[in-house]
Amino acid sequence: MKMNRLGSSDLMVSEIGLGCMSLGIDEKVAIPLIHEAIAHGVNFLDTADIYDDGRNEELVGKALKGRRQDVIIATKVGNRRLTGQEGLRWDPSKQHIKNAVKDSLRRLQTDYIDLYQLHGGTMEDQIEETIEAFEELKQAGLIRYYGISSIRPNVIREYTQHSSIVSVMNQYSLLDRRGEEEVFPSLHEHGISVIARGPVAGGALADGRDDKALKGYLEYTPEQIKEIREKLAAFVTEERSMSQLAIRYALSHPAVATVIPGASSREQLLSNIGASMTEPLTDKEKDKLRRLTRANQYTQHL
C-alpha cells in the first residue's frame, strides 16, 4: 500500500483509507472488516462522534485494542444532539470541542487522536475561537493535528489562511468535481492535503450498482448516470473495475493524500483496497474521463 504524507504533518497515511460510517453497528461484522483492512495495509480510519450516536467510535476503539500503534485515527466534532430534540445542532464553540474530545477519547479507548476534524463550518462561526480550541488540544497532547471537513470554499479559505490545519476532507469523485479548480490547487500550494470522501459517488460509480444510478446523483439525472456508466465501461479492464477506476480518479489529483471509501462487506472492502494495486491513471485517461462528466459549480451562497 502506498503511503502519503498528510499535509505538513508527520502522519503517513495509506492512499486507501477506511470510511467507518458504513460499517454498521454489528460488531461481529464491523470489527473483522477493520482488522481485514489493517491486514491489507490500510492505516487511516475515519469516523465521527455522531456516527450511530457514538457507537461507531466505540467499535473502532474496540477493534484497535492492542494495535493502536498500527493506525492513524481521524474523528470529527462540531455537531451535537440535544436531549429531547430531534436532529443535530451545530456547535463549533471552544467549550463543546474541548468537552466532546473527552468523550471521543473514551469511546475510542485511546489517550490521543491523530487527526481531529471540524465536522462542517460556516462563515458565521466564531472561527478564531474554534481554532483556539484545536490549538489548545494540540498543546495538551490530546490531538496531534487538526483539519476540517467542508465543501465551502470561503470556509476552507479562512482556515487555510488563519489556522494550522493539515487537511480538508472534501466530497470528490468523477461526478462531483467542485473542488478541482477552485479549492484543491490552493490547498496543494499551502501544503494542506485533501481527504477525498465519496469517491464512488454514493454507489453511482460502484460495480454492479445500477440501482444507485436509477436514483441519480447531485445534478445528474438517472438517465445521465446510466449513460456515464456505459461510457466508463470502456475504461474497465480485468485488472481494474469501475469502482477502482473511480477511486483511482480521486487519487489522481496531487492534492489528495488519501481516499476513504466505505465498506459494509468484505467484498467491498477488498475491491476498494485493490484500487491501490492498479496502475495510476495517465494524463490522457484523466482528460478523457473528465470529458465524460462535468465539473459541478457551487450553486449555493457560501
Residues serving a catalytic function are 51
Cell numbers representing residue 8 in the block: 505538513
Chain center to CA of 215: 22
Query: Which residues, at least 6 apart from 40, have a Cβ–Cβ distance to it below 8 Å?
Result: 1, 270, 273
* Cα–Cα distance, 57 to 45 (Å, whole number): 10
8-state DSSP, 133 = H
State how far the Cα of 79 lies from the Cα of 90, in Å rounded to an integer.
5
How far apart (Å, rounded) are the C-alpha atoms in residues 290 and 167? 25
Report CA-CA distances (Å) from 53 to 80, 94, 103, 118, 197. Answer: 9, 21, 12, 17, 20
- Alpha carbon distance 216, 219 (integer Å): 8
Length of the chain (residues): 302
Angle at 160 between CA 157 and CA 162, to 5 degrees: 105
How is residue 48 written as a grid cell? 465521527
CA distances from 16 to 44, 55, 118, 120 (A): 8, 23, 21, 23
d(CA 6, CA 167): 7
Strand partners, 79: 90
Q: How far is CA 32 from the centre of its chain?
A: 21
Helix, strand or coil, per DSSP, at residue 181: helix
